[in-house]
Every structure is written in structure tokens, then in C-alpha cells.
Amino acid sequence: MKVASFITIVFTTSLLFLSLRSPIAAFAEDRYSELQSFTKILNLAQQFYVEPVDTKKLIYGAVKGMLRELDPHTNYMPVEIFKEFESETTGEFGGLGIEISIQNNILTIISPIEDAPAWVAGIKAGDKIISINGQSTKGLSLVEASQLMRGKRGSSVVLGIIRGTSDSPQNYTIKRGQVKLKSVKYTNLEDGYAYVRITSFIENTSRDLEKILDDHVKKNKDIKGLLIDLRRNPGGLFQQAIKISDLFLDEGTIVSTIGRNKKDQEIVVAKKDGGYPTLPLVVLINEFSASASEILAGALQDNRRAIVVGEKSFGKGSVQSVIKLGDGSGLKLTVARYYTPNGRSIQAEGITPDVEIKNIDIQALNKAIITSENIREKDMEGHLIGENEKPASPLTASDKNGKETRSPSASSSWWNKSSKKTEDSLSPKDKLLQSDYQVYQAFNYLKTWKIFSKK
């Protein structure tokens, strides 16, 4: 009886063990079967393909195909490309100087880096690349497209570009060169105000910004407000966005990341050593402000530290982890999503500005003014107000979401100012304000920051 009982216990325990391990065993069996099929196909290609095959090339091709099933930001980088990727974050590298993405299955430029070869050649944010040296970009991954655009310094590459609503491609020949990034550009707006344009987030961005602000204070003995321009900033190093946010915050959440396991939430909180925790801030964004730019804008907006103006941002809110592999190659793998302090997902949503300011192309405006045949008395600046006419307000009351927007008539005073002087006679401040409508209006909001901060 004791032996029988022992056998029964062992048998029951074995069944329990098998039932507990069966899901794992089934998963492993499925994966083994799939890998066995892959190995079989590889062996058949090696043995019977019409010509000798490069096994390494086939395996890397399989890896690329596998990752293509995920998202555009997950990529395998061969050794040489990974080396270049590492050098790009230091602020100096060779190439064209563009940030690219895949939108609607089309290779699209998020932003050309200012003063880089592509910028000088006339490449613009939003341009669609349909060919590289005559080769179609259809079906290419970001890494494959990058490989085609890379080359020896001094050599040229021809990009087939479609811009805007045009159906006709235009070829741009760009000479590859050394790209030296100056990620923070400063203009003194006088009367205690400052403007900084952050073009990307690289290793020294936060340090450079802090130095610029400290120097501004020393020279001007005060700083009344700061306009931060993040337009066409494609992002960069996550930690740099954190450090800059921390510069203006002394408490509160900066950003949180959540991966596959919703319980594994990482929250980044501001320290109490920010150098400018009360400085009035206006942040200017547009549809090409992405990734780290959106983290900074979202952190300052949700913590009520800045008025965010401009146009809705790009919406790149995913976290990539870069893994260096044993052979020197690398894997960039999407592992989480970013969330603003109020829990808003940035991914495919972007940051909505507090005040929408549409951009105005001064050349197009000049053309419209010259060719217009519909100018009336009421369109003339300083005209006598009619009895039934309400004085034009630079702001409409609000849109359906309670968000303030600029009315079209608000551009008239800017255009009249910008058309009076030649560019050579302008100060850096006036040159900036009279050539860029969005900056001009953002600066107006900065000067009335106290009124908006109460809202």
C-alpha cells in the first residue's frame, strides 16, 4: 500500500509539473520549429542556389527583414554604420547632415542640420526622398537609406526630391562634408530678453545652453525672459533633454517611460538645483520638432513653466535602447513609450501648443501683396474705422478647445515692419524678428508672459 501510494503521489506530481511547464514547452517547441524552417531554407539556398551565396549576407538580410516587421526606429547597424552612429552624438561627423524618417512608406526628411551640406544645398524639412543616386528608395529601411547616402568626404550624392504637393521630382547634388554641430544658437533680443535656437541634442547641449544664459546675465545684469526655438529639431540624446528641463524646474516630473510591462514605469523627477526655476519661458515648436524636443516642450508645458507656441509637433514618442553586439555592430531597439508629466503619450500624438501660430513665408506674402487685386479701404493700415466695424484684435477669442490662435490680420504690422529696412542695416535682433513671423509673435507672448502664466 505504501509503495502504491508513493507511485500515485509521484505520478500526480509529474502531471502537475507537466501542466505547469506545458505553456513554456509549447512556446519553445513552436520557436524551435520556426528556427528549424529558417535553417532548412538557409541550407537549401547554400546548396542549390544557381550561384554561390554569401552566407553572412543572407543572415544579415534575414535580420533586417525581421526587424522591418517592427517599427521604423528599430534597426540593425553593421559595424561601420554603428561607428558612425556613435560619432554623431559627439557633435562632429562626416555626411550630409539630415535626420530622416519613414512616413507613409516614403523616406522623408525630418530636418536638415543647419549649416550642414544638405542645408546649404537647399534641402528642407518635409522633403520626400524618392531616389538616391538614381536608385529608388521604395522599400528601403532607414539604415539602408543611410548607407546609400554615406560616402567619402568630398564625394557627391544625388537625391531625387519631391517637395510639397508637387509631383515632379527635382535632383539635388550634395557634396559630402564634415558636419560640425553647434546645437545652441543665441541672439540677444535686448531689454533683458534672449533667444536660443536648439538645433539638436548632443553631448554638450545643456552645458552650452547654461553657459549662454550665464553669459547673458553677466553682460546684461538681468534676464527677463527666454524664447527657446525647437523648430526643426529632430531630437538626439534623451539625457540632454532631461538636463535642460531640470535647468528650469525645481520640482515635478519631467518625463516617464513605460515598456511592455506596464508595471515597470520609470519616472524622471526634477532636482532642486535648477539654475533658472522662475525664468519666464516661451517654447516654439513645429511639425518637425521630434523626440527629445517633445520631451522638453511637454515637461515645461505640463509643469506650467512655459507657454508653448507654434504648430503641433512631430509625435515621435518611443524609446530606443542601443545595444552594441559582440562583433562591433549594433541594434537599436524600441523598448518603451514616453509620457509627459500629465500622462500624455507623445507617440503619434505630438505636443499641441498652447497658442497656435502658423508660419508665414515672407516671399509668398510679398508676392500675394503685389499681385492682389482685392485690396480695400479696410485692408489699409491705420484706416478710419467704420461705424459698424469692430477694431481688429491680434488674437481671436479662442478655438473650440480653448486654445488661442493668431488671426490672419495679425501679420500685417509684422509685414510692414519687415519690409521697411534692408537686411544689411538690421541688428541681429531685428534681422531675426523681421524675417521670421513665428519668432516675432512668440517674442510678443514672452513679453506678456506674466498675463499668460496666471491663466
Neighbours of 157 (CB within 10 A): 19
Q: Which amino acid is at 302?
A: D
> Active site includes 302?
yes
Angle between helices 205-220 and 238-248 (to 10 degrees): 30
Q: Which amino acid is at 143?
A: V
Nearest to 362 by CA among 370, 374, 350, 354: 370
Which value, to the nearest 10 degrees, does the dihedral of the CA atoms of residues 351, 354, 303, 99 take?
30
> Active site includes 218?
no
Catalytic residue among 316, 332, 354, 436: 316
* Calpha distance 82→84 (Å, rounded): 5
DSSP three-state, residue 203: coil
What grid cell was written down for 289? 520638432
* Calpha distance 308→283 (Å, rounded): 5
> Active site includes 166?
no
Cβ 178 vs Cβ 94: under 8 Å: yes
* Calpha distance 345→269 (Å, rounded): 17
Considering only the C-alpha atoms of the chain, give the largest distance between any 2 of them, rounded to a whole number of Å: 113
Neighbours of 178 (CB within 10 A): 13
Catalytic residue among 229, 246, 302, 436: 302
* Calpha distance 221→372 (Å, rounded): 48
DSSP three-state, residue 45: helix
Catalytic residue among 291, 293, 318, 418: 291
Q: Give the residue numbers annotated as catalytic, written as ranges.
A: 291, 302, 316
